[in-house]
Homo-oligomer: A and B are copies of this chain.
Amino acid sequence: MKTLRTLGERKIIEIIQNHLSIMPKMPIPFGDDVAAYDVGRGKLAILKTDMLVDKTDVPKGMSRWQAARKAVVMNISDFAAKGVNPLAMLVSLGLPRNLSQKDVGEIGDGLNAGAREYGTYVIGGDTGESSDLIISLSVFGVAEEGKLMLRSGAKVGDFVVVTGFFGKTSAGLKILVDKLKAQPALRKALVDSVLMPHARLEEGLVLSQTGAVSAAIDSSDGLAWSLHEISKASNVGFSIDKLPIASEAEKFAEANKLDPLELTLYGGEEYELVLTIKPELWKRAKRAVEKVGGQLLRIGKVTTEKRVILDTDETKRAIEPHGYEHFK
């Protein structure tokens, strides 16, 4: 009999799905970042749930306030990746008995801070007793049919772009979890990227208006994993010619004799968007994102061959589909 550890999170999700009847005319297939229900008149109700469990999702050094805010960011990031505005959220809280009234207040404050940061509200919820601290959020939004940025639309020749540099959170986690060292200012930047993540909501919302995006996903399971997910869903490959390594991650890798590529490709808890863009609309997309204070970095292009290749001046190698996975 296989245990959950041998199965891993993704296989477990597949097993659950195989036991569920599929709703006829699902506007989005199982496995994209959000689910959708067709409410008619060309509108889709967009739904998402994501659960934070302290023992796997809250590293040492993260406060309860930060954990609650992170639970919001995790969920908003998926809405960002689909270009959908989060209109309202519900929270299901599992609380360990040893928490105090003050702890509960901090969790409430963290939820609210996260919600308000992205212009939304927590409008209801439920609470019960559990061994771990559990913060399960569900988010509601409305999208126009056809405007949703799915994982499945990447076309050969499209540009591969990301909304920021990678590697800081994996470095930050090595500091918090594995006790690696860094200079104070560098340490702060890396640790902050873990404790105070940001969802690229404004970027996602303006990008969905440009019509430039052919596929999109967030990078919460790591850059490599995100590329492979788009590759699978769109039936294309990628050639990455410029790895978006954060300079802080590079410094940290050098000081600790780590591979900066590993930090960049196989991190996680990183909430950038990974997108493919129609080349003729690249400038429009870039301008739209810069107008809201963000950035779009071109890192490669979509290819016919169904592989994800790193192909820079220095290196040519396959990017393997590893990424963070619960239970493993």
Contacts and interface: CB of A to CB of B under 8 A. Distances in A.
State the number of copies, please: 2
Interface of A: 1-5, 7, 9, 12-13, 15-23, 26, 30, 34-37, 39, 45, 47-53, 55-57, 87-88, 90-95, 97-102, 104-105, 107-109, 111-112, 115-116, 121-132, 134, 136, 138, 140, 142, 326-327
A49 B126 contact: yes
Given A21-B115, A101-B15, A104-B15, A90 B47 contact: yes
Given A9-B127, A9-B128, A125-B49, A2 B100 contact: yes
5 contacts: A3-B100, A17-B108, A20-B115, A34-B124, A128-B326
A50 B18 CA distance: 24
A207 B101 CA distance: 40
A20 B108 contact: yes
B49 A12 contact: no
Contacts of A132: 94, 130-132
A130 to B, nearest CB: 5
Nearest to A39: B142
Nearest to A126: B50
Contact of A20 (B16, B53, B93, B121): B121
Of the candidates A49, A95, A107, the one having the most CB atoms from chain B within 10 angstroms of its own CB is: A49
